[in-house]
Structure 1
């Protein structure tokens, strides 16, 4: 029982290499459920794991791929039976556990989520960790009071995976979306996703001396962090919230506490990796209901296992727009 997998290995000098190999099923890790993988995707973490590892990969040889969707082939857990469609994101799969860049994967049953009605496995990977994170961010903003009509909602890093899906969801829910991008050529793409305003990155990516500016944004999904997040905090409306999902602009936060103390602004941290199972079910149900699937077509770049090393390098340089859907059987 052999299958194809994208294997990353490291030599004695610490240099990594990645390539498609045919391997035996006996090499899969232990787990409750074996899945015939149909699709995976490419995230920033995957780019790290396809290259130097970024400190995420502990042992080699390794199969990256932090997301996958497919069909249960065998299960020792009563919650899943052969033929069930499932999706997996997070739980450090693809990092310290073999992941989805293969035609088969074996994982713990607790890590899987049944594929919601109305979604295909390809749809699920057009969503992936990026879209799942985006929905968690939208849900957090809603849980803290955000409603359509409250005012414009800012999405930073809007042309990336998380930002693209967040823009589409928010617009579908009736929000006015202001999309921040440093790539002017993505303006039509973002408008097509539902953005009503394009904000040039240079307008908002530097801190100012004033800790508070005019109250502008009713909410924000921030994928950038750093100086841009610090600036945005001072522009939020009274009681508004920022859902922080990434650090493309840096891990530092050169901000003051003034927006929190004088405007009651909330900074909400969004983690998708270790999210409890009930939250996952809720988020995937909302994705099936509130993410316009016709918008996904504008985000998708198809790929195969052989394309992954180059795509991994590209995403680390900010060269991937929207979502990559990897057909592991192509």
Structure 2
């Protein structure tokens, strides 16, 4: 394929040859008509005379000799360091005496995947997938957050404050504030998310949350959940309440591979977003203060926040809802 700024395609070069050779017209006149230089015209004519029609085909722009190319021995060392120690270009470069950009070029040339795409313990490529329709698979997980005592903790009052010292004294005395358990459900296809805060992650709580999540998704046009993926916690694996909730919804259970949280990667990524953009976005004065902002944040996430995996569109755009994302208040 000709490059973007090429004046002539293969057909244009053939036309140059036809006008000069077959019609016997001067080269200077023909190149002016084709809006190219005389040097270019004579170049293609010389190639046609030497090779015939094959001489009019594009040639690769790669140099015939690359004296500065990295030696095969150095490339082999780069590949070994990447495979065995899972290092990136910035770390490999100083070890082999190459610039990080050169190391990156070597890795790209040999088809080495980005570290972000690999499972670090095994070096296997993380298989990314997306279900074809809403409700085909829903990811469920629990994000555990430290509860906030009334009046706020050190994030509000600062480190070394009287409130932080009092909190440490209570911890030393065995009195703990406890945790908030944020139960989350994410639809695989649309990335729509639902979350509730509970004081525990027991089987009954998990089952109740699943029913609430199904009701929420139904309001957005996802009327059936076919499969639910969770980790291997007892509340999901051995719970009669959880199995009954799945049975009531007509859904099948799916479980992550052991020691492979990437299997439930969409839930793990949502938990990170939840922490960065809601739980720790500002200091809160109590757990109730933090909990009060969750519904509003979820609405923004589902209806207004751009999602890179969805081409910059919010999750609501992937549902059967007719309203455009901008129509939601």
TM-score (norm 2): 0.27
Q: Which has the higher strand share?
A: 1
Q: Which has the higher helix share?
A: 2
TM-score (norm 1): 0.27
Larger radius of gyration: 2
